[in-house]
């Protein structure tokens, strides 16, 4: 379907028509969304433009927002990476993760454009070598996050069968990558080790999980958009080829940081579960005294530290997609991840142990701390004149 603000679109036959496409990205402020936005901004200039509206401009909790924005923009495709916080209540999880995702799909179906939806391994059971057709049974006992993501997957497939929705579901496992502004998932593990707040091994030997490289995701999305005949109506596990043993990863991070903790003493899950219940009880008691305590949302997945879940990447590897960085894994990415996050956490005063090593010297620090008045005077004297190149550009 050609629109007034685009000159081309990839057809379902996979034939590329010359011209420029326009896409809408939902959730552009998160790790996945931000990585996608940066990719399309820097690598597809002149071919694909991306709009990444904030939630103030387009709230997927409001169906009128969705209809009005997409009617105005008339995109050639929509990518949805938005999720509510994993520990959100039932109301927010349903409205953002399920209803918002489905209403986006309804809009895409009406416009006749592809819909790329990001899902999660939380929809899968524990086990080894899980394939795309595997999924948990939809049951009341699931977390709100898992329930809403699983419902969305089912509804998208239903819409494919009954309304011809052109979708691709991308299931992710444990995601790692730079520029995540929240401490969550894999980065929560890295933070706990760097902060020495994990005294012992909170897992058992042999437990393995699949990992997802955030930097590779945009290449797959771009390829899937260019080859709709192959990828339309399909679900793919976007994970590294080889799963990783959690205990080995923890010890590797510890070694890289030259830390002494966690010690290689494996704490049984019943002990950890008792500690979790105690912390939840203590947080409730403190709330009685007006002290608000928010425990890490990852505590709801504590049991997964003791059970393997590995996703098969065979379907992805047998597709036409070619891995842009086939040798890159969570192990090879560790050096740059450690430098990036320890620098960031150091600047935020979340971790001070590695400040000198990773943040480096701040040459004006002494003046800024001890003589701010003199520093301000020197800046006023030397460094507040208008930029001459911008003045010249204005004249030109």
Domain positions in the chain: 1-173+210-243+310-327, 365-395
Burial of 121 (0-12, 13-18, 19+ CB in 10 A): buried
Q: Which two tokens stand for residue 11?
A: 């057809």
Q: Of the candidates 81, 236, 237, which has an alpha carbon nearest to the alpha carbon of residue 174? A: 237
Q: Can you tell me the distance from the alpha carbon of 73 to that of 63, in angstroms, rounded to the nearest whole number?
A: 16
Q: Is the peptide bond between 73 and the residue preceding it cis, with omega within 30 degrees of 0?
A: no
Q: Of the candidates 312, 317, 313, 311, which has an alpha carbon nearest to the alpha carbon of residue 122? A: 311
What's the first-to-final CA gap in the chain, in angstroms?
Answer: 42
Distances (CA, A) of 21 to 10, 82, 170: 9, 22, 21
CATH architecture classification, 1-173+210-243+310-327? 3-Layer(aba) Sandwich (3.40)
pLDDT tens for the chain, 396 residues: list them: 334 343 444 433 343 445 789 999 999 888 899 999 999 999 887 899 999 998 888 999 999 999 999 999 999 999 999 998 888 889 999 999 999 999 999 999 999 999 999 999 999 999 999 999 999 999 999 999 999 999 999 999 999 999 999 999 999 999 998 876 676 778 888 888 888 778 888 888 999 999 999 999 999 999 999 999 999 999 999 999 999 999 999 999 898 888 888 888 888 867 766 765 655 555 666 567 666 656 565 555 667 888 999 999 999 999 999 999 999 999 999 988 888 888 887 777 777 666 555 555 556 667 777 778 877 878 777 777 777 777 676 666
* pTM of this structure: 0.83
- pLDDT reported for residue 211: 95
Decide if 72 contacts 64 (C-beta within 8 A): no
- pLDDT reported for residue 347: 75
Q: How many CB atoms lie within 10 A of CB 141?
A: 7
Q: Can you tell me the distance from the alpha carbon of 371 to that of 373, in angstroms, rounded to the nearest whole number?
A: 6
Q: Of the candidates 122, 121, 86, 115, which has an alpha carbon nearest to the alpha carbon of residue 101? A: 115
Q: Of the candidates 65, 53, 66, which has an alpha carbon nearest to the alpha carbon of residue 27? A: 53
E-assigned strand segments in the chain: 21-26, 48-51, 77-80, 115-120, 127-130, 167-172, 174-176, 200-201, 208-209, 211-213, 234-238, 244-245, 263-266, 309-311
Decide if 109 contacts 164 (C-beta within 8 A): yes
Task: Report the DSSP pairing between strands 244-245 and 208-209.
Answer: antiparallel
């Amino acid at each position: 379907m050609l629109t007034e603000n685009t000159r081309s679109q990839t057809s379902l036959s996979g034939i590329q028509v010359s011209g420029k496409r326009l896409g809408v990205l939902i959730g552009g402020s998160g790790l996945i969304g931000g990585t996608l936005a940066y990719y399309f901004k820097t690598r597809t200039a002149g071919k694909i433009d991306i709009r990444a509206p904030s939630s103030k401009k387009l709230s997927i909790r409001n169906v009128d927002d969705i209809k009005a924005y997409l009617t105005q923009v008339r995109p050639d495709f929509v990518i949805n990476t938005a999720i509510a916080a994993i520990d959100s209540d039932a109301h927010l999880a349903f409205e953002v993760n399920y209803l918002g995702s489905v209403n986006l799909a309804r809009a895409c179906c009406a416009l006749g454009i592809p819909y790329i939806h990001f899902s999660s391994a939380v929809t899968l059971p524990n086990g080894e070598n899980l394939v795309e057709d595997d999924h948990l049974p939809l049951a009341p006992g699931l977390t709100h996050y898992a329930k809403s993501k699983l419902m969305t997957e089912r509804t998208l497939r239903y819409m494919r069968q009954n309304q011809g929705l052109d979708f691709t579901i991308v299931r992710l496992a444990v995601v790692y990558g730079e520029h995540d502004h929240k401490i969550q998932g894999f980065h929560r593990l890295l933070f706990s080790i760097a902060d020495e707040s994990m005294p012992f091994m909170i897992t058992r030997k042999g437990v393995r999980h699949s990992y997802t490289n955030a930097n590779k995701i945009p290449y797959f999305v771009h390829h899937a958009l260019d080859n709709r005949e192959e990828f339309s109506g399909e679900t793919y596990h976007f994970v590294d080829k080889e799963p990783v043993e959690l205990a080995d990863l923890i010890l590797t991070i510890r070694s890289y940081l030259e830390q002494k903790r966690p010690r290689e003493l494996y704490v049984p899950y019943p002990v950890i579960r008792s500690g979790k219940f105690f912390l939840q009880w203590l947080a409730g008691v403190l709330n009685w005294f007006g002290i608000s305590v928010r425990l890490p949302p990852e505590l709801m997945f504590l049991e997964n530290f003791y059970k393997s879940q590995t996703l098969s990447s065979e379907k992805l590897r047998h597709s036409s997609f070619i891995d842009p960085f086939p040798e890159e894994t969570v192990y090879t990415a560790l050096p740059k991840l450690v430098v990036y996050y320890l620098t960031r956490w150091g600047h935020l005063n979340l971790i001070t142990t590695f400040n000198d090593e990773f943040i480096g010297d701040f040459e004006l620090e002494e003046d800024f701390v001890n003589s701010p008045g003199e520093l301000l005077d020197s800046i006023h004297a030397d460094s507040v004149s208008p930029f001459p190149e911008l003045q010249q550009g204005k004249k030109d």
